[in-house]
């Protein structure tokens, strides 16, 4: 049977999720003890090597620098279809809504993530708005 090219793209996120399981629970984005078990034998050996902190750090740093999803996110779809923060209020007014509060990434982290005792990074895409009908 021929390999399905689309199915091969799932290995990247699965590898990252499996590597992340060697981090402390406070540093994980996802708790998934089964992530490594779905990977081919060669990748499982790679995941086993990430139990050692320097190898894990190197793998995560490499994925941050060269991940294709990052290039896609910065160059294409998300930026074309999203609203700039200064456009949200006007956009909502067109539908009969009034903007009550708008949080940027730092405010979201400070208000909702840090009170849980976790210190996770936020993305520049994590904007939220609270609105009420007029």
Q: How many angstroms separate the CA atoms of 86 and 134, rounded?
A: 20
Tally the C-alpha atoms within 13 A of residue 51's C-alpha that lie toward its C-beta: 5
pLDDT in tens, 42-96: 889 888 999 998 998 888 877 766 666 566 555 554 444 467 888 889 988 988 9
Q: What is the DSSP string of 60-73?
A: HHHHHHH-HHHHHH
CA distance 99 to 121: 26
**CA–CA distance, 14 with 32 (Å, rounded to integer):** 10
Predicted pLDDT of residue 98: 92
Q: In this predicted model, which residue has the larger pLDDT, 27 or 42?
A: 42
- Tokens standing for 129? 């708005």
pLDDT score for 77: 46
> What's the confidence (pLDDT) of residue 78?
45
For residue range 107-120, list pLDDT tens digits in order: 988 988 888 888 88
């Amino acid at each position: 049977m021929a390999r399905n090219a689309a199915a091969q793209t799932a290995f990247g996120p699965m590898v990252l999720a499996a590597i992340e399981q060697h981090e402390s629970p406070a540093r994980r984005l996802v708790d998934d003890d089964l992530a490594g078990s779905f990977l081919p034998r060669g990748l499982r050996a790679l995941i086993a090597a990430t139990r050692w902190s320097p190898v894990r750090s190197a793998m995560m740093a490499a994925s941050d620098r060269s991940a294709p999803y990052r290039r896609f996110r910065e160059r294409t779809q998300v930026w074309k279809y999203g609203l700039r923060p200064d456009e949200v209020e006007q956009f909502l007014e067109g539908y009969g809504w009034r903007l009550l509060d708008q949080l940027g990434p730092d405010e979201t982290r400070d208000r909702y993530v840090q009170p849980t005792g976790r210190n996770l990074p936020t993305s520049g895409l994590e904007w939220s708005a609270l609105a009420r009908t007029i």
